[in-house]
């Protein structure tokens, strides 16, 4: 199952007014952070604190409503995991339901995730004991925790899979999503990938580029990637490229405003090809440029290039949304 990965919109808070005026018509932004141990929850909390969020980690679930019972001030980020003495999946879901129904609160559930094999490797590197299996191999606790958290994962508003991320990548993704200075209420992330390595998790829309002319079969282009002008020109020279790009952009420009009206805060779009190096990268670059030029807050990730150390996540921001 691939839950939708969504991102929050911007909330500008006037703290002075919050202290002197009733909070009618205003909402308290609350980010609830959870996920399996070792997936990056602590990194997310630290990044949010640096962004200006008031952060509290492992607050007992029964105390959360009391913390939020007050005037609207700065956004709050609350970390919750299985080490919480009151933790249970049922109680956390009940809390999520309760806060969702509260008109004064705008809740966003952030689920930090990672594959079990990655979590096991991280535990092996740090030599830590898993909280659910202190006397067993870490993988035993990891599998128990993943099963325990599955209902909460399904309820998440935002899912970040840190399996292929460094700590710096993870922090950058948190900043990109939750920065209070974001210019658009909807963020779009565009990904290139190789079908041979599988489809990235969390994609909302996916396009197959394998029908386009493949630069891999041109000797001088093979070592380059889709960001190179020669490769991009070769892909664009395919008689079907312009029409394909036109229809993709028409679909996105038609649906993006509808997603905003629906309250969706993030859309993840993927372009795949055989190796994830040429055609999907060129299409991603073209789509990102077009979206940024028309004012959408858009970021890009070239998964296979990042695996080779050839690219880092980048973001482009337009002038309006």
Residues above pLDDT 70, as percent of the chain: 81
106: CATH: 3.40.50.300
Domain final position from 178, 208, 228: 178
Q: Which residue range is the domain that position 42 belongs to?
A: 15-178
Residues 262 and 138 in one domain: no
Alpha helices in the chain (DSSP H): 15-20, 41-50, 64-68, 89-101, 116-126, 138-155, 167-178, 229-236, 241-262, 279-293, 303-307
> Please, which residues have CB within 8 angstroms of residue 266's CB and are 6 or more apart in sequence?
4, 5, 6, 7, 158, 177, 186, 187, 188, 189
- Reported as a single tens digit per residue, the pLDDT across 292-304 is 888 888 889 999 9
Q: Is residue 9 part of a domain?
A: no
Residue located via tokens 């050839």: 310
DSSP classification of residue 196: G
Q: Is residue 292 part of a domain?
A: yes
Q: Is residue 44 part of a domain?
A: yes
pLDDT of residue 260: 78
Task: Please check the confidence at residue 17 and state whether its pLDDT lies above 60.
Answer: no
- Reported as a single tens digit per residue, the pLDDT across 79-124 is 988 776 677 888 889 989 999 888 888 899 999 998 988 888 887 7
- Reported as a single tens digit per residue, the pLDDT across 157-195 is 899 988 888 887 888 788 778 876 543 467 899 999 999
pLDDT-derived band at 310 (thresholds 50, 70, 90) equals low
Task: Please check the confidence at residue 261 and state whether its pLDDT lies above 90.
Answer: no
- Reported as a single tens digit per residue, the pLDDT across 129-151 is 666 666 677 788 788 888 888 88
Q: Is residue 7 part of a domain?
A: no
Domain count, the chain: 2
């Amino acid at each position: 199952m691939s839950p939708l990965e969504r991102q929050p919109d911007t909330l500008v808070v006037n703290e002075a007014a919050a202290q002197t005026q009733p909070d009618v018509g205003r909402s308290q932004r609350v980010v609830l952070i959870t996920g399996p141990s070792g997936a990056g929850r602590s990194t997310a909390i630290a990044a949010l604190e640096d962004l200006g969020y008031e952060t509290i980690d492992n607050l007992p679930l029964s105390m959360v409503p009391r913390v939020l019972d007050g005037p609207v001030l700065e956004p709050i980020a609350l970390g919750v995991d299985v080490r919480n003495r009151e933790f249970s999946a049922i109680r956390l879901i009940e809390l999520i339901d309760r806060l969702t129904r509260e008109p004064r609160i705008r809740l966003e559930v952030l689920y930090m995730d990672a594959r079990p094999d990655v979590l096991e490797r991280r535990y092996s590197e740090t030599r830590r004991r898993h909280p659910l299996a202190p006397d067993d191999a870490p993988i035993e606790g990891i599998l128990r925790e993943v099963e325990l958290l599955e209902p909460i994962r399904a309820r998440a508003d935002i899912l970040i899979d840190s399996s292929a991320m460094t700590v710096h990548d993870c922090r950058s993704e948190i900043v990109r999503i939750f920065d209070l200075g974001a210019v658009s209420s909807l963020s779009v992330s565009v990904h290139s990938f190789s079908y041979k390595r599988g489809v990235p998790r969390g994609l909302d829309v996916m396009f197959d580029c394998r029908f386009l002319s493949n630069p891999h079969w041109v000797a001088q282009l093979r070592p380059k990637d889709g960001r190179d002008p020669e490769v991009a020109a070769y892909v664009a020279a395919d008689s079907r490229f312009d029409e394909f790009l036109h229809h993709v952009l028409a679909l996105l420009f038609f649906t993006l405003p509808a997603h905003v009206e629906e309250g969706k805060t993030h859309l993840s779009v993927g372009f795949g090809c055989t190796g994830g190096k040429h055609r999907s990268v060129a299409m991603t670059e073209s789509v990102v440029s077009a979206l940024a030029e028309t004012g959408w807050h858009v970021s890009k990730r070239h998964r296979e290039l990042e695996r080779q150390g050839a690219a880092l996540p980048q973001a482009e921001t337009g002038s309006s949304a």
